[in-house]
Every structure is written in C-alpha cells, then in structure tokens.
A and B are shown apart, each in its own frame.
Chain A
Amino acid sequence: KNQVEQSPQSLIILEGKNCTLQCNYTVSPFSNLRWYKQDTGRGPVSLTIMTFSENTKSNGRYTATLDADTKQSSLHITASQLSDSASYICVVSAGAAGNKLTFGGGTRVLVKP
C-alpha cells in the first residue's frame, strides 16, 4: 500500500528562524513529489514539484530536497515569517501517468513573533 509519512506533526518556531520538515514515502512506481502549503480552511497551494531526477528545488524561502534512493524528502523554510504559519503537505504521485496521488498527513507550522 502506498504511504506518505510526515514529521513532525507540528512545530512552533520563532519568526526569523529556519526549520526543516520531513517526508518519507513508500510509493511505487514513483512519478513525482510535491510540497503544498495549506492555510486553515483554504485549498492547498503548490510550492514545489520534483521528479525522480531532481535533488533540490527552491521557491523563494522554501527549498525542497529529494533522495529517491532512500525515498525521503525535506522542505526547508528559511528566515520564517508569520505568514508561513500553515500546514505543509507532502504528496507523492504514482503510476506511469502520475495520476494516483497519496497525501501525507501534513506538518502544522506555527511561527511566533
């Protein structure tokens, strides 16, 4: 069964600090891995998308890494801002067409001033 596990479930950081979120997956056959940001009560918004051959991808202060050998990904947030308070969801696409998506449970991040 395809699974995506995220850790930690939640974390609190001070404004301006960095943090790293983890994602481990057992999805086959792998197509791509995405990180989403979801504000409370709203739809997820795409941050990064990585295919098998990509190791890292950045979107502003967000940097995602992918190790396809160990089936792990991380999302690093640099110089956190209050607006970074949200849930961050790791999603892995499977299948030749990448049409079956498996979502992680998310990491809830709270940035405090």
Chain B
Amino acid sequence: EAQVTQNPRYLITVTGKKLTVTCSQNMNHEYMSWYRQDPGLGLRQIYYSMNVEVTDKGDVPEGYKVSRKEKRNFPLILESPSPNQTSLYFCASSFGASRQETQYFGPGTRLLVL
C-alpha cells in the first residue's frame, strides 16, 4: 500500500532531550516536507527536500534539523526541544513540488515537550 509513515505517533519528552521523528515513504517520491500544525496558526512548513542530499528551510525552521540521505526517509531532528515545539507534526511527500503533483501526508506525530 502506498503510504507515508511517521514514528512515533505520540511522544512526551522533556526540554533539552534530543529526539528524532522518522518519516518514510514507499512511493519513490523525490519531494518530502515537514510541517507543524498549531491551533489558530494552521500548517506551517518547517523544512523540505527536493531530492536526496537537497534540503531547504521552510517558514519555521528554527530549532529543527533534517537530513535526506536516502530517497525514502526524511527524519526531523530536534536537537534541544523546547516547550514551544509542542505541536502536531506532519510529514508529506510527492513526486515533485510543482505542476500537478498530489502531496501525500503521513498520519501525524503529536509531540509534547515539558
């Protein structure tokens, strides 16, 4: 089944404890992206990747890192999480970002930073 998977789905952590949220897609997509969704603010793009070893900042990259060593995986790294990073995170992928490429979203990861 074609899908985007994220792990973990739920995570409670403490300030400063490094964490990684994994994202994997099985559709051979080139474009992958991370978003956070907060009440009243909607979805905001954190980082995106046009292809392997190509990443770029979105609108809210501060406090996050990403890597794209393989086409299928795009992990989101929080080196030193803070309470303002408590949010619902979505990973998404598509064949490309432009034209008429449908973007597929993962199920979301709900993060609570204490």
Task: Verify if B48 is at the interface (C-beta below 8 Å from A).
Answer: yes
Taking the closest CB of chain B, its distance from the CB of A93, in whole angstroms, is 6
With A103-B43, A105-B42, A106-B42 as contacts: A46 and B103 at CB distance below 8 Å: yes
A31 with B105, Cβ < 8 A, contacts A100-B45, A105-B41, A106-B42 known: no
Interface members, chain B 53-96 (any A CB < 8 Å): 56, 58-59, 90, 92, 96
A19 at interface (Cβ–Cβ under 8 A)? Answer: no
- Are A93 and B100 closer than 8 Å at their CB atoms? no
Complex: A34 Cα to B100 Cα, angstroms: 9
Q: Is the CB of B45 within 8 A of A93?
A: no
Inter-chain contact A99/B41, CB cutoff 8 Å: no
Q: Is A101 an interface residue (CB 8 A)?
A: yes
Size class of the A contact interface (CB-based, 8 Å): 20 to 34
What band does the interface of chain B fall in when counting residues whose beta carbon is under 8 Å from A? 20 to 34
Q: Flag if B97 contacts A93 (CB, 8 Å).
A: yes
A49 vs B103: C-alpha distance when bound (angstroms): 10
- Contact present for A43 and B90 (CB under 8 Å): yes
B97 / chain A contacts, CB cutoff of 8 Å: 31, 93, 97-99, 101
| Complex Cα–Cα for A103 and B58 (A) | 12
- Within 8 Å of chain B (Cβ to Cβ): is A79? no
Within A57-113, the residues touching B (CB, 8 Å) are 89, 91, 93, 96-106
CB of A45 closer than 8 Å to a CB of B = yes
| Chain B neighbourhood of A49, CB < 8 A | 100-102
| B100 in contact with A32 (CB, 8 Å) | yes
Contact, CB under 8 Å: A99 / B31: yes
CB-based nearest B residue for A34: B103
**Which residue numbers of A lie inside 8 Å of B, CB to CB?**
31-32, 34, 41-46, 49, 51, 89, 91, 93, 96-106
Give the interface of B toward A (CB within 8 A).
Answer: 4, 31, 33, 35, 40-45, 48, 50, 56, 58-59, 90, 92, 96-108
